[in-house]
Amino acid sequence: MSNFIRLLKLCKPHAGMLLLGAFLSTLTVLANVGLLAISGWFLAAMAAAGIASVHMNYFTPAGVIRFLAIVRTASRYGERLITHNATFLLLSEIRVSVFSTLSKLSNVDLAMSRSADLVSRMQDDVDALDTFYLNVLLPIIVALISIPVVMLFMSAYNPSVALLCFTALMIVGVLLPAFLGHKFSKTAAQEREQSALLRAHLSDSLKGARELALYQASDKQLIECDNANRDYNQYIQKRHSAVANSDGLTLLITQLTMLGSIIILVPLVRSAEIANVELAMMSLFVLASFETVLTLPNAFIQLPNALSAAARIFELEDKLGKDTPAATIRVKNQPLGIRFTDIDYYYHSQSKALKEINLTINAKQKVALVGPSGSGKTTLINLLSGLWPTQAGKIELICDNQQINLNTLSTDNRFELLTIVAQQHHIFDGTLAQNLRYALPAATDEALLKACEQAQLGPWLSQLPEGLKTRLGTAGRTVSQGQARRIAIAQALLRDSAIIVLDEPTESLDNHTKHAVIDTVMDVMAVKTVITITHDPALLNKMDQVIWLEQGEIRAIDSHQSLLQNEHDYVSLVTRF
Amino acid sequence: MTTKPRPDRAQQIKLRAFLKQYSHSGSRLLKISILLGTLNALLMIASCYLIANAVHLVMFADKQLDDITYLLWPLAGLILLRALFLALSERISHYAAQKIKTAMRKTLLAKLNRLGPIYSEQKGHGATLNTLHNGVEALHQYYANYLPSVAYSALIPLAILVIIFPTDYKAGLIFLFTAPLIPFFMILVGHKAEEINQQRWQQLSVLGNYFFDRLNGLSQLKLFNATRRELNNIAKISDDFRTSTMSVLKVAFLSAFALEFFATISVALVAVIIGFRLFFGTLDFATGFVVLLLAPEFYLPLRQMGTHYHARLEGISAAADMIDIINAEEELPAAQQKQLTLPIKSVCTNQLNFCYPHSNEGISNINLHFPAQGLIAFVGDSGAGKSTLFDCLLGFHLQANSQVLINNTPLSALDCQSWQQHIAWIPQQPTLFYMSVADNLRIAKVDATQAQLEQAAAKAGALEFIQALPRGFNTLLGEQGEGLSGGQKQRIALARAFLKSAPILMLDEPSAHLDSQTEKLINNAIVEYAKDHLVMVIAHRLNTITQADTIYVLEQGKIIEQGTYQQLCQQQGKLWQLSIAGATHE
């Protein structure tokens, strides 16, 4: 319930639009109900008047019918426009709120909140909330307003019919769908699981196609897929069967209610307590009144889904602590050294990713981090970036014999001093220029072109017909790994920060490009403090110092050359064919 | 969500024919479902008659409740039957969709199997997986909802007309008079609703893609300190999309407005005309009431069909990917009965050439002769043709099969499976299937005993850590299974290969930096195996190369050097350059 209220609060800025949509929606429903009921009455009255050969004012009801028909159509049009507009407004609100929450959380909170991939889960959750207004909130508001109105009119004619009808409406519109919604929220998790399982099996068959062929196990894998498919289908069928049952039941209740109201009303017509023409009207009125709950079942079925999606998003929001204390010191962008003191890091209580790292990197020094995968290189960089909070020990910046704890800096200041090119470099959906400007928003086109040139993107760029305006990413041109790497380097070159971290900068570059990239980087970054994660001898050769990590500990700090001469393990580590 | 363009009209006709063609496994069920749905409509018409007559008798013939029970009891019966038919019809149509989906998935998988691993690699595993999983699921609504709704939109109005005509031809005429509106509606729904749907969903998906793309790159935005700027971007882009979409929708909804308007006006028109006929006594009330009750039902199926248009588009779009796979050309080799005779005495290639279509990459003029045992290493830059050579040797490139000779018989003259079953193969990133460790190993040997599993694992240096897993050999692996390190996965794959104990082991060494202990372990296991088997390895590590009996160095699809490590180092050629790059200044 509290999540529902929090969701409503999120809707608050657009309450006017949302309510206007709801009002038009209600108007449509009521006009429709009125149209049917009055048509019934009109027909009966005309027939009665015809039989009794009395004159009848048929202009008014015929006019009302026409009027209601027009109101219904017009308000339906308005409703569609307004509700869609409101949905878009809310959608933007939700996305901005989710994005701002996620961007404030540290990556550790994000990673540890769930084992499965956070982003894909987030996608489902945001999608579920996108339609919260249209599918959940709107039908509820419409029912809340229109049911009392309809009931008021109906009870004016006959309270017991109204009571019968109200009970039926509650069963069809609330009880039945709430039951289904409750049931589905339980089975939805299982359905998702089965779906993921099927996906895993299908993915195995594709990725492992060669192995399966060579081990003559393709047929066996086909059976595995078929079984997973069958299990998944069983869950889907269960859901559809439940909906089918509920549809049948709804039809049964709706029709029986009309039958019941006829049975209630017939003796009253006989005893002349109500006019005979009202029988025709009431039977149609009862039937039409179910329009008020037409979209309600879907709302209640989706409600648990929307609420659990909201709960997960709010849960992340609640993780946001109090704002970090305002930074007291501001460090200028000047040559800086880094000192790691007694750094420990645990993923969980058993596995230690870093053990007592003590390390000093001087200003303008060029150092390399080497070590097998899992030795703690990336963890160390994540701690330096602040994306992961330090658990034990401290990281300090050294300038002019002063030592400043990195944690006392504001995020803005920290990233002004620090540029990190991660190994998993994301190319955003947008133009090349847009991608580059993420590094430096104010950069001129000339600056962008220069950075591209320095990063050896020149030849590639010159053959792109749209140049910097070429669209990249999911909906654009695909870039090779080597190109992505060089785009990342161009971004790093644009940012004029004192410390630069490059994770595998020369990976997937051909020999010629590699050397050119290394030369420019060393040239442009001569006055910077540079940390590279690399095993490339060509780059290691240029480094002042190599820090060799193994199993979270520093195994050696020395120059590349002397390590090559003294450590056989090091030679095998950096020699790759 | 997808941003790929929707198929145009001509393509849609082709795709719908395709979807019809592949629906045979459920088409009978679908027909039954439609039959039940139509029966439901017929009963609905009957119950309208009963209601109208009952109301008529009470209102104008002074009948009491007891007098009309003979109408009300059957009415209750009809209602019950209708509820039953409706539920059954829905269940069956969904069941039919399941059957069709299952058959489609099976057909696609079987076809992909026949096409071989290279087809889906070229198309991208991700795209193919999406077609197999989400794509096939997108067909559900198409078969379960859209197809029946098309049938109903023709059958139900027709049924209403046929039944109402004998009762009162004038009422029938009113329907017939408004009936020409139906094709008009059809066209409106057909063209316009489709446009609305297309625009609405495409806009939404573009917006969604933008948002989730930024979410995917969130860490990077943080590193660039760009999250606040991006927040403004998201708000702005959402708002731009809203404005542009709304201006489209304003116009697009007009067609829906017209449809609603005509349907509503028609019903109102029917009511007014009948009202006057009743007034002048040319029609009895029961008939008039029936017509009024049926009027909305007459137009309902059409309006419902409009609501399933999105399902239709999704289904058709998904079908476009499927048709690609199903129509892909298979290069089936002529079935060869000839089995490979054991033992394998010689494996060689004679003028082996292979080039990928639409690219210059490939291998050319490769002449190799492999001994029955020993460690053979292949070295070269990425793109030099090592993997292509391996694929040719494995028999995955059919054009090259005649240039690969086993015991002096070309591979093209042999049953390829009889060759492949003597090879164990480990790629750079071995696939651990979504099953237990034991079942993963048993892929290589279905009837392996526990002792054999343990023996193979021990040989690969994997026994210790497998036994330390929470459920030992029964631990579930795969995407959602136990998290294993790269080195551990490698060792399980090695154990799988050893279990097969094939005369030939081919492996693509992982280029990732495993810790030195694991590297040594794997290295020793391979060298040991090479003593009495043939081991071919795409080598990345110094240790592997120094211990190889022969090293082949590839460059641009050709073999440029061969020999032992010592020999090649003395030649001071390519291999020497590669191996000393780490050791000296340039």
The DSSP-derived string for A95-148 is HHHHHHHHHHS-HHHHHHT-SS-HHHHHHHHHHHHHTIIIIIIHHHHHHHHHHH
Q: Are residues A420 and A495 in the same domain?
A: yes
Q: What share of chain B is helix, strand, coil (3-state, %, to 5)?
A: 70, 10, 25
Give the residue among B488, B484, B502, B390 at the shortest CA–CA distance from B444: B502
Nearest-angstrom CA–CA distance, A40 and B268: 11
Q: Which residues of B touch A387 (CB under 8 A)?
A: 219, 222-223
Nearest-angstrom CA–CA distance, A277 and A281: 7
Is the Cβ–Cβ distance between B509 and A544 less than 8 Å? no
Q: Are residues A257 and A360 in the same domain?
A: no
CA closest to B269 among chain A residues: A66
Q: Are residues A21 and A103 in the same domain?
A: yes
Q: Which residues of A touch B284 (CB under 8 A)?
A: 47
Sheet containing strand B534-538, edge to edge, reads: B423-426, B504-508, B534-538, B374-379, B550-555, B558-563
pLDDT digit string, tens, across residues B2-36 = 445 566 777 888 888 898 888 889 999 999 999 99
Gap between the terminal Cα atoms of chain B: 51
Q: Are residues A40 and A93 in the same domain?
A: yes
Q: Which residues of A touch B55 (CB under 8 A)?
A: 262, 279-280, 283
pLDDT of residue A470: 87
For residue A178, give the CATH number of its domain.
1.20.1560.10
Q: Which residues of B touch A510 (CB under 8 A)?
A: 381
Chain centroid to Cα B184, Å, comes to: 37
Q: Are residues A70 and A147 in the same domain?
A: yes
Task: Please check whether residue B244 touches A, CB under 8 A.
Answer: no
User: Domain range for residue A358?
Assistant: 337-575
Q: How many domains does chain A have?
A: 2
Is the Cβ–Cβ distance between A375 and A395 less than 8 Å? no
**Is A217 within the bounds of a domain?**
no
The owner of tokens 């299937």 is B433
Is the Cβ–Cβ distance between A399 and A331 less than 8 Å? yes
CA closest to B420 among chain A residues: A214
Q: Which residues of A touch B425 (CB under 8 A)?
A: 210-211, 214
Listed ranges A117-121, A298-302, B54-58, B476-480; the one with the highest mean pLDDT: B54-58
Residue A100 CB neighbours (<10 A): 17
Strands A402-405 and A430-431: unpaired
Give the residue among A308, A372, A361, A369 at the shortest CA–CA distance from A335: A361
**Is A237 within the bounds of a domain?**
no
**Is A204 within the bounds of a domain?**
no
Question: Residue B355 pairs with which residues in a beta bridge?
Answer: B362
Task: Please check whether residue A127 touches B, CB under 8 A.
Answer: yes
Is the Cβ–Cβ distance between B519 and A572 less than 8 Å? yes
Nearest neighbour of A564 by CB, restricted to B424, B446, B582: B582
Nearest-angstrom CA–CA distance, A538 and A509: 12
Nearest-angstrom CA–CA distance, B40 and A442: 67
Nearest neighbour of B227 by CB, restricted to A51, A103, A372: A103
Q: Residue B452 to residues A36, B346, B487: CA-CA distances in angstroms?
A: 78, 29, 22
CA closest to B427 among chain A residues: A211
pLDDT of residue B542: 83
Q: Are residues A285 and A345 in the same domain?
A: no
Is the Cβ–Cβ distance between B41 and B78 less than 8 Å? no
**Residue B284 scores a pLDDT above 60:** yes
Give the residue among B382, B425, B402 at the shortest CA–CA distance from B535: B425
The owner of tokens 């109900």 is A33
Q: Are residues A286 and A394 in the same domain?
A: no
Nearest-angstrom CA–CA distance, A50 and A63: 19
Mean pLDDT value across residues B519-531: 88
Task: Please check whether residue B260 touches A, CB under 8 A.
Answer: yes
CA dihedral sign, ordered A369, A373, A376, A378: positive
Please state, rounded to an integer, the average pLDDT across all residues of chain B: 84
Contact B513 A439 (CB under 8 A): no
Q: Provide the residue-wise pLDDT of chain A in tens; the chain has 577 residues.
A: 788 898 888 888 899 999 999 999 999 999 989 988 998 898 888 888 888 888 878 888 888 988 898 898 899 889 989 998 998 888 888 888 888 888 887 766 665 443 345 666 777 788 788 888 988 999 999 999 999 999 999 999 899 999 999 999 999 999 998 888 888 888 887 888 888 889 889 988 988 888 898 888 888 899 999 999 999 999 999 989 999 999 999 999 999 999 999 999 999 988 888 888 888 899 999 999 998 998 888 888 888 888 888 888 888 888 776 555 566 778 888 888 999 999 998 876 666 788 889 999 998 999 999 988 778 888 899 889 887 888 889 999 998 778 888 888 888 888 889 999 887 788 888 889 999 999 888 889 999 999 999 888 888 888 888 888 888 876 667 778 888 889 999 999 998 889 999 988 888 787 788 888 888 888 888 889 999 998 888 889 889 999 999 888 999 999 999 998 888 888 888 887 7
Nearest-angstrom CA–CA distance, A564 and A550: 16
Nearest-angstrom CA–CA distance, B298 and B267: 9
pLDDT digit string, tens, across residues B431-473 = 888 888 999 999 998 899 999 999 999 988 889 888 888 888 9
pLDDT digit string, tens, across residues B328-381 = 887 666 666 677 777 888 888 888 888 877 667 788 888 888 988 899 999 988
Q: Are residues A168 and A301 in the same domain?
A: yes
ipTM of model: 0.86
Give the residue among B211, B138, B120 at the shortest CA–CA distance from A474: B211
> End of a domain among A278, A312, A346?
A312
CA closest to A282 among chain B residues: B55
Contact A267 B65 (CB under 8 A): yes
**Is A109 within the bounds of a domain?**
yes
Residue numbers of B between 27 and 56 with CB closer than 8 Å to A: 47, 51, 54-55
**Is A361 within the bounds of a domain?**
yes
Q: Which residues of A touch B424 (CB under 8 A)?
A: 214
Contact B264 A255 (CB under 8 A): no
Q: How crowded is the C-beta side of B379, counted as CA atoms within 13 Å?
A: 30
Kindly provide the residue ranges of all beta strands, DSSP E only, lying in A208-336, ordered along the sequence. Answer: none
DSSP SS3 for B303: helix
| Angle between helix B309-327 and helix B285-307 axes, rounded to 10 deg | 40
pLDDT of residue A249: 94
Is the Cβ–Cβ distance between B24 and B96 less than 8 Å? no
Greatest distance between any 2 Cα atoms in chain A = 120
pLDDT of residue B201: 63
Greatest distance between any 2 Cα atoms in chain B = 119
Chain centroid to Cα B214, Å, comes to: 26
pLDDT digit string, tens, across residues A443-480 = 899 999 999 998 888 888 888 888 888 888 766 677 78
Residue numbers of B between 491 and 510 with CB closer than 8 Å to A: 496, 500
Q: How crowded is the C-beta side of B408, counted as CA atoms within 13 Å?
A: 1
DSSP SS3 for B477: coil
**Is A222 within the bounds of a domain?**
no
Mean pLDDT value across residues B231-250: 83
Nearest-angstrom CA–CA distance, A199 and B134: 9
Task: Please check whether residue A196 touches B, CB under 8 A.
Answer: yes
Task: Please check whether residue B275 touches A, CB under 8 A.
Answer: yes
Q: Which residues of A touch B213 (CB under 8 A)?
A: 428-429, 473-474
What is this structure's pTM?
0.82
For residue A442, give the CATH number of its domain.
3.40.50.300
Q: A442 CA to chain B: closest CA distance, Å?
A: 12
**Is A133 within the bounds of a domain?**
yes
| Phi and psi, residue B396, nearest 5° | -85, -20
Q: Are residues A459 and A500 in the same domain?
A: yes
Q: Are residues A284 and A343 in the same domain?
A: no
Q: Which residues of A touch B234 (CB under 8 A)?
A: 92, 95-96, 99
Contact A415 B225 (CB under 8 A): yes
DSSP SS3 for B572: coil
pLDDT of residue B195: 66
Q: How many helices (H) and strands (E) does chain A have?
A: 22, 12
Q: Are residues A289 and A343 in the same domain?
A: no
pLDDT digit string, tens, across residues B294-314 = 888 887 887 787 778 778 888
Nearest-angstrom CA–CA distance, B519 and B540: 11
Q: Length of chain B in residues, anyone? A: 586
Q: Which two tokens stand for residue A43?
A: 């027909």
Name the amino acid, one letter, at A143. A
**Is A242 within the bounds of a domain?**
no
> End of a domain among A242, A277, A312?
A312
**Residue B248 scores a pLDDT above 80:** no
The string over B489-502, giving b where at least 16 C-beta atoms fall within 10 Å of a residue's C-beta and e elsewhere, is bbbbbbbbbbbbbb
CA dihedral sign, ordered A154, A158, A162, A164: negative
Give the residue among A474, A310, A132 at the shortest CA–CA distance from B205: A474
CA closest to A47 among chain B residues: B278
Q: Mutate one of A135, A176, A211 to test the B interface: name it (highest B CB count within 10 A).
A: A211
Nearest-angstrom CA–CA distance, A239 and A225: 21
pLDDT of residue B253: 75
Q: Is the peptide bond before A297 cis (omega within 30 degrees of 0)?
A: no
Mean pLDDT value across residues B30-56: 94
Nearest-angstrom CA–CA distance, B387 and B521: 24
pLDDT of residue B140: 93
Nearest-angstrom CA–CA distance, A329 and B326: 65
Q: Are residues A261 and A393 in the same domain?
A: no
Residue B85 CB neighbours (<10 A): 22
Residue A291 is classified by DSSP as G
Q: Mutate one of B434, B511, B555 to test the A interface: name it (highest A CB count within 10 A).
A: B434
Q: Residue A25 to residues A140, A269, B191: CA-CA distances in angstroms?
A: 11, 35, 26
